[in-house]
Amino acid sequence: MMEVHQHINKCYLNSKIHLLGQISLLKPKMRLETFKKKNKIFKFLCIYNFTMIVLYLAY
């Protein structure tokens, strides 16, 4: 159970680091817009991860 949670967190952090690395290559004006879009993706990932953990615990 704890292994699943740690794996999900590791995947989430790796994707966040990768996306932030790509954002740093953009022009400063474009960064704010890109951060807003990425925050929506991260929010979805957090909700998805939470749902998967709850379903795993319920099973």
Q: 40-51 pLDDT, tens per residue?
A: 778 888 888 888
What is the model's pTM? Answer: 0.41
Domain ranges (residues) in the chain: 2-58
Q: 7-38 pLDDT, tens per residue?
A: 555 555 555 555 555 555 556 666 667 667 76
For 42, the enclosing helix (H) or strand (E) is helix 28-58
pLDDT attached to residue 42: 80
Q: Is the pLDDT of residue 56 over 80?
A: yes
For 24, the enclosing helix (H) or strand (E) is none
Cβ burial 9-48 (10 Å sphere, 16+ → b, else e): eeeeeeeeeeeeeeeeeeeeeeeeeeeeebeeeeeeeeee
- List the structure tokens of 19: 């996306």
CA angle 24/45/40 to nearest 5° reads: 55
